[in-house]
């Protein structure tokens, strides 16, 4: 429903996809770990990503036990936590960044539950447009899913290569904004090549929903981004950007520039 209403939706994610469709461009979704490499550098990175052409920015709330993440995001999370990063401070960073592009809060369930029932309103007020939970699959917890689904935030759900097509339909019906297609089995992290069955999974998902589809996990360079985007409406780049940001913000921004160029060419 979200996509058919996109043109009149008040959600910035829907508006962004409407614009991308109108201009026949693919979405570049960039992931950053909140507070990494430092709070100030994270802020600089967020603003820079917008300038370099990110369409949507995912900001990850660091969690002590990130079971869905590979070594790069684990390491960035541990460092951010050690420096005192929290969900509350993440909302503060989003608010201070004051971005034009939509922002998705990317989090594990436990920090969100600990933040209390009004956290979704507070996130919305801080400038968050969507939320993605790594460990709340469809049907896992109807009450909490309703809480998330009823909020002002787009509720972005994930689909995996193992997901049967009936379940893909159910996932899409219970989500909004876009569907995050996990490109391969495993955890987050750069890979030398894309999964060979990506196109097939993406076609199945396409047959199950009209929501925009963004492919993530393992995309680290322009060539992979362009290949993955050909099977979807956009790509998510995470670990590669976090790794680059760990070296310097300039490196992360230069990677973003090359991803944008590849997607637009």
Binding site for other proteins (CB under 8 A): 63-68, 70-71, 74, 78, 81, 86-88, 108-115, 134-138, 140-141, 157-164, 167, 171, 182, 185-187
User: Nearest approach, Cβ of 81 to other proteins (angstroms)?
Assistant: 6
Residue 161 or 222: the one with the smaller Cβ distance to other proteins is 161
List own/partner pairs for 181-184 with CB under 8 A and 24 or more apart.
181/205, 181/213, 181/214, 181/215, 181/216, 181/232, 182/158, 182/216, 182/217, 183/215, 183/216, 183/217, 183/218, 183/219, 183/228, 184/217, 184/218
- 69 belongs to the catalytic site: yes
The least CB distance from residue 6 to other proteins, in Å, is 24
Which lies closer to other proteins via its Cβ, residue 53 or residue 137?
137
List Cβ neighbours of 139 (8 Å cut-off, separation of 6 or more): 145, 170
Q: Contact 118/86 with Cβ under 8 angstroms? A: no
Task: Determine if residue 217 is left, alpha or beta; phi over 0 gives left, psi from -120 to 50 gives alpha, anything else beta.
Answer: left
State the minimum distance, in angstroms, from the CB of residue 198 to other proteins: 14
Q: What is the dihedral of CA 5, 8, 10, 13, to 10 degrees?
A: 60
Q: In terms of CB distance, is 32 or 171 closer to other proteins?
A: 171
Choice among 14, 50, 52, 69 that is catalytic: 69
Of 51 and 64, which has the nearer Cβ to other proteins?
A: 64
Nearest distance in Å: CB 132, other proteins: 11
In angstroms, what is the minimal distance from the CB of 66 to other proteins? 7
What is the distance, to the nearest Å, from the Cα of residue 131 to the centroid of all Cα atoms in its chain? 8
Nearer CB in complex with other proteins: 48/66: 66
Return the DSSP state at 6: G
Task: Give the angle 140-141-143 at the CA atoms, nearest 5°.
Answer: 155
Given the residues 52, 58, 145, 233, select the one marked as catalytic.
58
- Helix orientation angle between 39-51 and 87-97, rounded to the nearest 10 degrees: 40
Phi–psi pair at 189, nearest 5 degrees: 145, 150
In angstroms, how far is the first alpha carbon of the chain from the final one?
31
Q: CA triplet 251, 26, 263: central angle to 5 degrees?
A: 45
- Nearer to other proteins (CB atom), residue 49 or residue 81: 81
Residue 176 CB, nearest approach to other proteins (Å): 16
Active site residues: 58, 69
């Amino acid at each position: 429903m979200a996509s058919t209403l996109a043109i009149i939706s008040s959600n910035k994610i829907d508006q962004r996809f409407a614009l991308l469709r109108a201009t026949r461009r693919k979405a570049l979704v960039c992931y950053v770990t909140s507070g990494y490499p430092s709070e100030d550098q994270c802020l600089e990175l967020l603003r820079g990503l917008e300038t370099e052409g990110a369409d949507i920015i995912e900001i990850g709330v660091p969690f002590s036990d990130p079971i869905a993440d590979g070594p790069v995001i684990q390491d960035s999370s541990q460092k951010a936590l050690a420096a005192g990063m929290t969900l509350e401070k993440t909302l503060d960073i989003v608010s201070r960044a004051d971005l034009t592009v939509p922002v998705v809060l990317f989090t594990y369930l436990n920090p969100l539950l600990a933040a209390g029932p009004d956290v979704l309103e507070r996130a919305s007020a801080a400038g968050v447009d969507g939320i993605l939970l790594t460990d709340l699959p469809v049907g896992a917890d109807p009450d909490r899913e309703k809480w998330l689904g009823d909020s002002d935030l787009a509720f972005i759900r994930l689909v995996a290569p193992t997901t049967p097509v009936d379940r893909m339909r159910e996932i899409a019906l219970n989500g909004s904004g876009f569907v995050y297609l996990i490109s391969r089995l495993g955890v987050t992290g750069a890979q030398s090549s894309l999964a060979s069955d990506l196109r097939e999974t993406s076609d199945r998902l396409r047959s199950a929903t009209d929501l925009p589809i963004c492919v993530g996990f393992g995309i680290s360079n322009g060539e992979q981004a362009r290949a993955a985007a050909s099977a979807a409406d956009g790509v998510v780049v995470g670990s590669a950007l976090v790794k680059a940001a760990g070296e310097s913000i300039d490196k992360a921004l230069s990677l973003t520039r090359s991803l944008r160029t590849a997607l637009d060419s």
